[in-house]
Amino acid sequence: MHAQDYTIITAEEDPTGSQVAVLPTPSAFVARLEAEWTETFKNTSSPALRQTWQQMGECFNRQVARSVKGQRGTWQVLQGRTGTAKTLGLQTWAAMLPPPSAVPVNAFTNRAGHPGVLIVTKLIENAQGIAKTINTLARRYHGIDYDVAFDYHGKNRTVAAEDLKDWPVLICTHAAFQIAMGEQQIQWKQYHAFADGVRRCTVIDESLELIEDVKVDVNEIRACLGAIPLEVELKFPREMQALTKLKEDAEFFVRHQSEEDAVLIHKEHPNACDLTPLRSAVQDKRYHRAEREKGGDQVNEILGRLQIVLNQWAWFSSQQQKSLNTASFLIPSTIIDEGAVVLDATASTNAVYKLLTEDRVTILPRLAEPRTYRNATLHRSFGHRVGKGTMGRIAKDEAHVLVENLRRQFSPERKVFVGLSLVSEEAFDAYRTPTTDSAGVTTNTRAYSEGSGFARFDVAHYGETDGVNTFNADDVAVIFGLNYPPQERAVNLFNALRGVQLPLWFKNDVEKLRREFTISHLVTTCIQMFNRTIVRKCVSAEGDCPKADLLILLPPIDGNAEEAALAQAVEAGILREMPNIRREPWRYMALGGGGKRHMIKRSRSEHRFLDFCDTISPGTSISITSKVREEQIKASAMTWQRWSSRLQDPADPLTRAMVARGVTFTPSPGAPRPAHLSKKGGQ
């Protein structure tokens, strides 16, 4: 490393120069990262990638400069696409920082211009890998023989918490970071401290959970209060009065306003109080052990949630379970003001960032498009019930149907990944391939076999794949059911992030908010699932991914208008986030002997007609001559005559499916002029 590769940041109001940070220049960072990308990992660089990396280097340096100069920070979100070396870039930048000149291992006494970095990543395995790479690169870049990065988590407590400040780069997990931001913030101060000051740069790899949701079912409240022994009730009249009032409020809305989607109960409860003594009494009550496990512990857990509802704003939801709900923002303002850099490939689809005000979060625009997915094909099949409940009920039978469909469509050497909800996962045990860790030990303890007939058959549920690269060789990816968010999530997010709204907002604005948030959440989770597979790899200077097939089951587009809009919005979101991906209909066929078919039934000839509608280019009109009918639509004259009548009925399912594809039908005005199919421009 050379002096010209660095820039010096000083605090303007500090004439002594003690607050100094020495940082790699963005151009030196790009050059170093490009060498790692092309020489070490044998990938191909491009101008678009270099522009993306330049933005990354500038962002890291800007965060340090703001901290050194004492300026209030914001959370800057870098939304580089998957496969653009975001994590490698972070590791390279951290390794380029000048190491402390004092060499006693684990006891750095001289900052030597190092700004101090805290990296927050999803999993322990990620933290271990990041620390190892930074240390390897730092030794190579600077010729040192000691480590500069330490991963601190449950599997590595070899350094006392008060001594973490001795490490220039500290890596922890999302879970540890969120715990550290508790009321006292003692752990945060230990993570944030560096040498005689603080760490100037916090980088969060992948998005954090920003709010804590609390939900108490009305039946849980009744059961909880009914289970508290009378002698305990008599000792805590104030606490019982507050809980009884909460129960009465909830029961009132169950009886009189259950048709309301959401109702604000209180911003501040008039009888808010500390339930800790009551909870202790419930736990200490001399139940027999079996009774305590069934009663006391469960009552205590419910009381814990009711404590939060009492002490915060709360609202009543009539969706699904009748419940009281609340939520709180997990990130204290003091930590927001410190600033941070967030690496999140799906930031543009994540509605959470849009709810955070600009003085807290800035989403940096993509300056270039370094990826293209023209080697991948999105196969979509509409007409399915794809919620968690439905998929869980039919999974055992439908797993067989799915695998048979894949066998018909793909050759045995393909590697398959199926992303689904946890409730559906067990249904695929007969097909999945066992997974092993780096030591070769089988980590998948469920039953398995090679019964799928493919080279690999991996299965993972939503939330399990975040930060995982286990499936990056799979070239066929299936989303088997959508990950709908809880009905209460959107309301909780909005009020926790924007402040508690007025009662009129709960009455008028919730439905639209929930719809927008649901679409955002579904697109984000679909993209995250697909990006766990081979499409994350970049194999050309243009940013191509390897050949891949991505398949998804979506709701009907020719039935309920709301379902149709959701299905089309999810598809549009995937197309937007995966530029240039090809799309084709997925002829997902129900098989004899399988489970109950949950798609809208159509004949094969109707499927061929709708497939033909998909091939019509926007802004064109096609005459349905006998040649087109016979060779392209493959329909008999009698079938076409029957369809011509149906396609003039707006309520006919075939007409609705055609219109959903942006196609309109103009009947023949009479021989010899034929009928026409037209697609609007921009569809």
Q: Which residues contact 238 (CB under 8 A, 6 or more apart)?
A: 271, 273
Instruction: Collapse the DSSP code of 6 into the 3-class scheme (helix H, G, I; strand E, B; otherwise coil) and give the result.
Output: strand
Spatial separation of the C-alpha atoms in residues 274 and 546, rounded to whole Å: 58
* CA 276 centroid distance within chain: 35
Spatial separation of the C-alpha atoms in residues 376 and 584, rounded to whole Å: 11
pLDDT digits (tens, 9 = 90+) for 456-513: 999 999 988 877 888 999 999 999 999 999 989 999 999 999 999 999 999 899 999 9
Return the structure tokens found at 644: 């011509």
**Local confidence band at 357 (pLDDT 50, 70, 90 cut-offs):** confident
Half-sphere exposure of 408 (CA within 13 A, CB side): 12
Residue 678: its H or E element:
strand 676-679
Return the structure tokens found at 54: 């330049």
User: What pLDDT is stored for residue 571 in this prediction?
Assistant: 96
H, E, C per residue of 364-417: ECCCCCCCECCCEEEEEECCCCCCHHHHHHHHHHHHHHHHHHHHHHCCCCCEEE
Report whether 611 contacts 661 (CB < 8 A).
no
Spatial separation of the C-alpha atoms in residues 622 and 625, rounded to whole Å: 9
DSSP 292: I
Instruction: Collapse the DSSP code of 263 into the 3-class scheme (helix H, G, I; strand E, B; otherwise coil) and give the result.
Output: strand
Which residues is 202 bridged to in the sheet? 118
Q: What is the mean predicted confidence (pLDDT) over 3-21?
A: 71
Spatial separation of the C-alpha atoms in residues 278 and 287, rounded to whole Å: 15
CATH topology of domain 376-585: Rossmann fold (3.40.50)
Report whether 485 contacts 517 (CB < 8 A).
yes
CATH topology of domain 3-210+331-364: Rossmann fold (3.40.50)
The mean pLDDT of the chain is 87
Question: The whole model's pTM is what?
Answer: 0.80
Report whether 79 contacts 349 (CB < 8 A).
no
* Sign of the torsion formed by the C-alpha atoms of 90, 92, 95 and 96: negative
pLDDT digits (tens, 9 = 90+) for 658-682: 876 778 999 988 878 899 999 876 5
Is-same-fold flag (3-210+331-364; 376-585)? yes
User: What pLDDT is stored for residue 661 in this prediction?
Assistant: 73
Residue 418: its H or E element:
strand 415-420
pLDDT digits (tens, 9 = 90+) for 316-334: 998 778 899 999 998 888 8
Which residues is 95 bridged to in the sheet? none
CA-atom Rg of the chain in angstroms: 29
Spatial separation of the C-alpha atoms in residues 106 and 102, rounded to whole Å: 10
pLDDT digits (tens, 9 = 90+) for 230-246: 999 999 999 999 999 99
Return the structure tokens found at 273: 């109080």
Domain ranges of the chain: 3-210+331-364, 211-327, 376-585, 604-679
Return the structure tokens found at 182: 């508790």
